[in-house]
């Protein structure tokens, strides 16, 4: 049986958020400007795009 | 301790996020939808905010500031065994917290001072990785050092208010307080990091 589109989007959203969180967690093991940059430039956009994808999947879901 | 809590919170959130993502069919039920909203929206935002706060806190640490090679001499200048070096005197006598020594003196004690300090820090990072790095002795402040930063701690202190050096003339103290006379560039406390002369300096060896 084929997965509903919303579930596929939720899976992708969770992958983006999970990747962002893991990167953010990794940056917290070191005190260095590059860790700060990775946190802000890589981690935050990944989480932001994952959350937006999830919210978009909710509003675009067919009843 | 706080960092450990933040790391554990982020790790737990990541585990929940991935679990919900790979069990997306749970979201078919009402409870599953609520779980998904918490896992994919509320928790990640909270975790990212916690991590961001921790990163901002770390950006105020001496270790963070000195982690760029060009700042090494500025770090060494804190250990000069000569009380006329103003930063060394403050650092060695715990007049500034040693783990936040740079930030304590180089932030603006005014509205949005912290934000301005962080933005300057971002510019430093940009220069460090994408620009032409100046020699340590060529690094200057963006603007003359404001007495306000000194007065943030010293104002009202007995040694500052009653010290003979601050009463050489009748209106000296008033001029210093109003910013008419600079603490650092009026010939009084004018030896600051002075990284160009470090090769001839003696250094204090801290007993740990």
Tokens of A60: 């675009």
Cβ A13 vs Cβ B44: under 8 Å? no
Say which residues have a Cβ less than 8 Å from residue B145's Cβ, sequence separation at least 6.
B182, B183, B184, B185
Q: How many helices (H) and strands (E) does chain A have?
A: 3, 0
List chain B residues with CB under 8 Å of A44.
48, 52
Residue-level pLDDT at A61: 77
List chain A residues with CB under 8 Å of B18.
14-15, 18
Q: How far is CA B105 from CA B67, B74, B141, B149, B154, in A?
A: 18, 13, 12, 6, 12
- CA dist B18 and B40 (Å) reads 9
Phi-psi label, residue B187: left if phi above 0, alpha if psi -120 to 50, beta otherwise: left
Residue-level pLDDT at A11: 94
Tokens of B173: 């103290």
- CA dist A39 and A30 (Å) reads 11
Say which residues have a Cβ less than 8 Å from residue B3's Cβ, sequence separation at least 6.
A28, B54
**Number of domains comprising chain A:** 1
- The SS3 of residue B203 is strand
Q: Which residues of B touch A (CB under 8 A)?
A: 3, 6-7, 10-11, 13-14, 17-18, 20-22, 24-25, 27, 36, 39-41, 44-45, 47-48, 51-52, 54-55, 58-59, 61, 63-64, 67-68, 121, 124-125, 128-129
Say which residues have a Cβ less than 8 Å from residue B168's Cβ, sequence separation at least 6.
none
B7: closest chain A residue by CA: A25
* pLDDT, one tens digit for every residue, chain B (208 residues): 688 999 999 999 999 999 999 998 998 899 999 999 999 999 999 999 999 999 999 999 999 999 988 999 999 999 999 999 999 999 999 999 999 999 999 988 888 888 888 888 888 888 888 889 999 989 988 889 999 999 999 999 999 999 999 998 999 999 999 999 999 988 889 899 999 888 888 999 866 5
Residue-level pLDDT at A2: 67
Residue-level pLDDT at A43: 96
Residue-level pLDDT at A5: 86
Domain locations in chain B as residue ranges: 2-58, 65-145+184-200
Residue-level pLDDT at A63: 61
Cβ B54 vs Cβ B16: under 8 Å? no
pLDDT in tens, A7-49: 999 999 999 999 999 999 999 999 998 999 999 999 999 999 9
- Residue A59, chain B, CB below 8 Å: the answer is no
Q: What is the ipTM of this complex?
A: 0.91
Cβ B79 vs Cβ B101: under 8 Å? no
Phi-psi label, residue B195: left if phi above 0, alpha if psi -120 to 50, beta otherwise: alpha
Question: Residue A39's domain spans which residues?
Answer: 5-59
Contact call for A24 and B3, based on CB within 8 A: no
Query: For the whole model, what pTM was predicted?
Result: 0.84
């Amino acid at each position: 049986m084929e997965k509903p589109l919303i579930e596929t989007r939720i899976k992708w959203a969770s992958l983006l958020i999970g990747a962002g969180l893991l990167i953010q967690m990794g940056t917290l093991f070191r005190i260095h400007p590059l860790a700060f940059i990775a946190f802000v430039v890589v981690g935050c956009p990944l989480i932001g795009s994952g959350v937006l994808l999830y919210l978009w999947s909710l509003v675009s879901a067919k009843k | 301790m706080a960092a450990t809590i933040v790391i554990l919170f982020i790790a737990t959130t990541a585990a929940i996020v991935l679990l919900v993502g790979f069990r997306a069919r749970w979201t078919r039920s009402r409870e599953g939808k609520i779980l998904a909203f918490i896992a994919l929206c509320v928790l990640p935002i909270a975790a990212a905010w916690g991590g961001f706060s921790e990163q901002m806190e770390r950006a105020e640490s001496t270790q963070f500031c000195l982690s760029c090679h060009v700042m090494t001499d500025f770090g060494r200048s804190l250990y000069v065994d000569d009380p006329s070096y103003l930063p060394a005197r403050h650092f060695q006598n715990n007049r500034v917290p040693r783990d936040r020594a740079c930030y304590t003196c180089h932030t603006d004690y005014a509205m949005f001072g912290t934000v301005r300090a962080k933005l300057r820090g971002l510019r430093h990072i940009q220069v460090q990785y994408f620009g032409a790095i100046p020699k340590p002795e060529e690094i200057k402040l963006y603007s003359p050092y404001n007495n306000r930063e000194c007065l943030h701690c010293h104002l009202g202190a007995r040694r500052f208010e009653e010290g003979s050096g601050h009463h050489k003339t009748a209106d000296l103290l008033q001029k210093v307080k109003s910013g008419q006379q600079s603490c650092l560039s009026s010939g009084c406390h004018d030896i600051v990091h002075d990284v160009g002369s470090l090769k001839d300096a003696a250094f204090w060896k801290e007993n740990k």
